[in-house]
Amino acid sequence: MNENNLEDYIISILKNIYDPEIPVDIYELGLIYDIKISDNKDVKIIMTLTTINCPVAETLPLEVKEKIQSIKHVRNVDVVLTFDPPWSKEFMSDEARLELGLL
């Protein structure tokens, strides 16, 4: 699996993980800031949460790590949680805004 296909597959997995308070997946919600894939298939995901006090602060990054780690071609996964820049509604995709009635 080449890097582009792997990134697309990772995104498809992320689109099946939902913020429990908002009926939109974490990718469309704009919680994923970056996906980096090294030549040896190590994956680094930089993500945020909707708020610093998000009730899933402990579990959501772990769920992301476990699901991406389960991909056959991925060697290691590092999920980095950041609040810089802080998440805002502007990070949401048009699809997410439509789903939430913000368009």
* pLDDT tens readout for residues 60-93: 999 999 999 999 989 999 999 999 999 999 999 9
Note down the domain range covering 61: 3-89
On whether the pTM is more than 0.75, the answer is yes
Question: Locate tokens 């498809």: which residue?
Answer: 12
CATH number of the domain residue 71 falls in: 3.30.300.130
Decide if 73 is inside a domain: yes
DSSP 84: S
Question: Is the bond preceding 61 in cis, omega lying within 30 degrees of 0?
Answer: no
User: Which amino acid, residue 29?
Assistant: L
Decide if 101 is inside a domain: no
Answer whether 41's CB lies under 8 Å from 3's CB.
no
In total, how many domains does the chain have? 1
Decide if 29 is inside a domain: yes
Answer whether 27's CB lies under 8 Å from 11's CB.
yes
Give per-residue pLDDT as tens, 13-69.
Answer: 999 999 888 889 999 999 999 999 999 999 999 999 988 888 788 899 999 999 999
Decide if 64 is inside a domain: yes
Decide if 8 is inside a domain: yes
Q: Say how far apart CA 48 and CA 76 lie, in whole Å.
A: 20
Decide if 42 is inside a domain: yes
